[in-house]
A and B are shown apart, each in its own frame.
Chain A
């Protein structure tokens, strides 16, 4: 009898230990981002934002008592490499997939994650990404279909421009933005004085800027990645183009300001996320980030940070760690700062995975982003 009781006790202890190990096992999250190559600024900011959020959450005991474990893989800013890395990451059965940041890389990796039934929270902004019926794909920032109409409206209403030169990068991101904004310009009766396609990683913009000069537009809309933005801003200054320069986050980001120096002054853009936002929680995030990494992040740092808090809020809403139910829960979810302060601003996800949040119109003044207008959340 005694031996039976002893055996029973031992089994109970062993079973409870196993159950403890199951519930206490870390939540595995895979990140695939542009850690080198042309998108290194994007990917490294995104990665650092993720690491900061994970560190904060783990320090407070994790999500539902489980720590987060993130693996980082480098897509080398190459869609082919991104696809291979995402496949490798999915083979490890992560709870959620994070990244990539480049729209082209998201486009080729999203079907893999959807097929595996794993939610992908990414940084891409091309309009088409969330219009393909993928039920597992979520944005961390505005898509072009939300941001471009606002930029076109600003160019029409505030600048009263009648002709605009459009400079775009010839990849999924650039082409998507160019298509949406030229459609908006047509609708508003604004003439596209020059339609200039540039290459990713392009170093020399002398010829492109000469064309802008020759077209003499009322404003220049620039939609290229960060490093190329810095190079073209320098060339624009070098050639003395004086028309207002308007863009999106990639024209007025911190890295662009650092690289372009004085040449970035005066550039204006619509940004969904900026560490200069007049929001206390964002300022506090910025301070924490600077303390840890010793530099001011751009919007990608914020996107990576928010991606992890999206995971936290969604999981807590479900009350369990369930990768299959994750996407369904996040669709239609509103995460409020009152319940999750580190989501920084109230945000709502629609059925396509697009987001609704407040946005900002900023101008670079003396090497700093200055918020000129706050655009409220729509719903």
Chain B
């Protein structure tokens, strides 16, 4: 039983990171019909940007700050202007394929300019345990969970409680009407790209101390987050959160109770079942778009 609790806590911590990445997936889909297959590489890259800044002699906090800003610039602004805008007019599929190419490009560039080897990455949460109900729970797990939950709560509040959030929702639901009532739709779409870039930078900051900084680490993350978004409901932020947490826990339980070899197949199986029996996902709504 205690083992089960450990597995669930560790799974929730990983799942919270998947949730951050999956939320980005749904945001981009909602506002610009972008299925970003480079989302995993988007999580891998900020860690390397931060490491590069640290190599120049900057302290960790400054590297994080610069890394997040560079992510917003490269993975938000430049991604939208240089890839999404020119490709989207040709349809969803060409854009999806272009993001696959981008994923390979980012991965190979990191391999070429940084290293093919893994690098250590400092943790924002100190190592150690705290006692919760008589059980030692890792501070890192709790820290990761807390930061991810805070980010998601903050985003949900932004979307539901602020005028800016309402404008973003309007731009996603019906861009034509939103334009008529004076919502700056283009700016709202750009904002979702910037939010996605910050979310992936945050995910990078949380996951890299555990997974290590490596050019290939985005593959697993991108796949897990994509499955999480579909399972949770691709058209709902809350769906992506639920999907992320669920995939994190299911993956851990599968590794512990089924087998490590087949662990990757279990979320896939969940994905297939969901597509067959509940295509809109756990919390998604059929044929509706909203952020």
Residues of A within 8 A of B (CB): 35-37, 40-41, 44, 170, 196-199, 201-204, 206-208, 210-211, 213-214, 227, 230-231, 234-235, 237-240, 255, 258-263
**B127 x A199 contact (CB < 8 A):** no
Write out the residue numbers on chain B whose beta carbons fall within 8 Å of the beta carbon of A234.
Answer: 209-210
Given contact pairs A41-B117, A227-B214, A206 touches B252 in the complex (Cβ within 8 A): yes
Given contact pairs A230-B212, A237-B127, A203 touches B261 in the complex (Cβ within 8 A): no
B112 and chain A: residue at smallest CB distance? A36
Query: Contact string, B1-44, partner A, CB cutoff 8 A, digits 1/0?
Result: 00100110011001000000000000000000000000000000
**B117 x A255 contact (CB < 8 A):** yes
Min C-beta distance of B204 to chain A, whole Å: 14
Write out the residue numbers on chain B whose beta carbons fall within 8 Å of the beta carbon of A260.
Answer: 120
**A196 x B214 contact (CB < 8 A):** no
Tell me whether B265 is interfacial, beta carbon within 8 Å: no
Min C-beta distance of A256 to chain B, whole Å: 10
Given contact pairs A204-B251, A231-B211, A239-B6, A199 touches B261 in the complex (Cβ within 8 A): yes
> When the two chains form the complex, which single residue of A41, A208, A210, A231 contacts B260, counting CB atoms closer than 8 Å?
A208
Among B118, B256, B263, the one with the most A-chain Cβ atoms within 10 Å of its Cβ is B118
- Complex alpha-carbon distance, A214 and B1, angstroms: 10
**Pairs of residues from A and B, 10 with the lowest C-beta to C-beta distance, nearest first:** A207-B255, A206-B10, A40-B116, A36-B116, A207-B256, A214-B3, A203-B211, A40-B117, A238-B138, A227-B118
**A231 x B210 contact (CB < 8 A):** yes
Tell me whether B119 is interfacial, beta carbon within 8 Å: yes
Tell me whether B278 is interfacial, beta carbon within 8 Å: no
Residues of B within 8 A of A (CB): 3, 6-7, 10-11, 14, 111, 115-120, 127, 129, 136, 138, 140-141, 209-212, 214, 216-217, 220, 251-253, 255-256, 259-261, 263
Given contact pairs A199-B261, A206-B14, A234-B210, A258 touches B138 in the complex (Cβ within 8 A): no
Write out the residue numbers on chain B whose beta carbons fall within 8 Å of the beta carbon of A261.
Answer: 120
Min C-beta distance of B40 to chain A, whole Å: 11
**B10 x A210 contact (CB < 8 A):** yes
**A230 x B118 contact (CB < 8 A):** yes
Main secondary structure of the interface of A (DSSP, over half): helix
**A44 x B117 contact (CB < 8 A):** yes
What would be 17 A-B contacts, judged by CB atoms less than 8 Å apart? A40-B116, A44-B117, A170-B260, A170-B261, A210-B256, A211-B3, A213-B6, A214-B3, A227-B212, A234-B210, A235-B210, A237-B127, A238-B127, A238-B140, A240-B129, A259-B119, A262-B127
Given contact pairs A36-B111, A197-B261, A198-B260, A204 touches B14 in the complex (Cβ within 8 A): yes
B258 and chain A: residue at smallest CB distance? A207
Write out the residue numbers on chain B whose beta carbons fall within 8 Å of the beta carbon of A262.
Answer: 127
- Complex alpha-carbon distance, A196 and B261, angstroms: 11
Write out the residue numbers on chain A whose beta carbons fall within 8 Å of the beta carbon of B138.
Answer: 238-240
Write out the residue numbers on chain B whose beta carbons fall within 8 Å of the beta carbon of A210.
Answer: 3, 6-7, 10, 252, 256
Among A202, A206, A208, the one with the most B-chain Cβ atoms within 10 Å of its Cβ is A206
- Complex alpha-carbon distance, A86 and B260, angstroms: 32
Write out the residue numbers on chain B whose beta carbons fall within 8 Å of the beta carbon of A213.
Answer: 3, 6
Write out the residue numbers on chain B whose beta carbons fall within 8 Å of the beta carbon of A199.
Answer: 260-261
Write out the residue numbers on chain A whose beta carbons fall within 8 Å of the beta carbon of B127.
Answer: 237-238, 262-263
Write out the residue numbers on chain A whose beta carbons fall within 8 Å of the beta carbon of B14.
Answer: 204, 206
